[in-house]
């Protein structure tokens, strides 16, 4: 199994600012992902965080808005840029060692944009 820690767990942010969320996994994993859940919506995949290269974004998500870093196999960051109230969501980091294996999630970062 893998234990995933996210920071911050919760924050209130001013409109127009940016916030970086950190994700730390307690073991080396091949795959890391970032999801968000807006109020009343499903968990939605934002991007796959690739180690040593640019992240792969899902339709509707762009690098300028959600820059992602993954400098090594156990750590990734997601930045939510130029925030608006529509970015108020839970952001979750997930990790897995290979396809078909269990995918583990962090506890999420609850962001409220005012």
Contacting residues toward other proteins, per CB under 8 A:
4, 31, 33, 35, 41-45, 48, 58-59, 92, 94, 96, 99-108
Closest approach of other proteins to the CB of residue 5, in Å: 10
The residue (of 43 and 73) whose beta carbon lies closer to other proteins is 43
The structure tokens 């965080």 sit at 49
Closest approach of other proteins to the CB of residue 103, in Å: 6
DSSP SS3 for 99: coil
Nearest C-alpha neighbor of 66 from the set 24, 41, 3, 57: 57
3-state secondary structure 38-73: CCCCCCEEEEEECCCCCCEECCCCCCCCCCEEEEEC
Closest approach of other proteins to the CB of residue 98, in Å: 8
The residue (of 14 and 53) whose beta carbon lies closer to other proteins is 53
The residue (of 13 and 43) whose beta carbon lies closer to other proteins is 43
And the tokens for 8?
A: 């911050």
CA angle (19 as vertex; 76, 48 as ends), nearest 5:
35
Closest approach of other proteins to the CB of residue 15, in Å: 25
The residue (of 14 and 42) whose beta carbon lies closer to other proteins is 42
């Amino acid at each position: 199994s893998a234990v995933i820690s996210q920071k911050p767990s919760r924050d209130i942010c001013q409109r127009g600012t940016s916030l970086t969320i950190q994700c730390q996994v307690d073991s080396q994993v091949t795959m890391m992902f970032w999801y968000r859940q807006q109020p009343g919506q499903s968990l939605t995949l934002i991007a796959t965080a690739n180690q040593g290269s640019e992240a792969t974004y899902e339709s509707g998500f762009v690098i300028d808005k959600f820059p992602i870093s993954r400098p090594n196999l156990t750590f990734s960051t997601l930045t939510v840029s130029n925030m608006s109230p529509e970015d108020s969501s839970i952001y979750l980091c997930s990790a897995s060692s290979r396809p078909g294996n269990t995918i583990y999630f962090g506890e999420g970062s609850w962001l409220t944009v005012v």
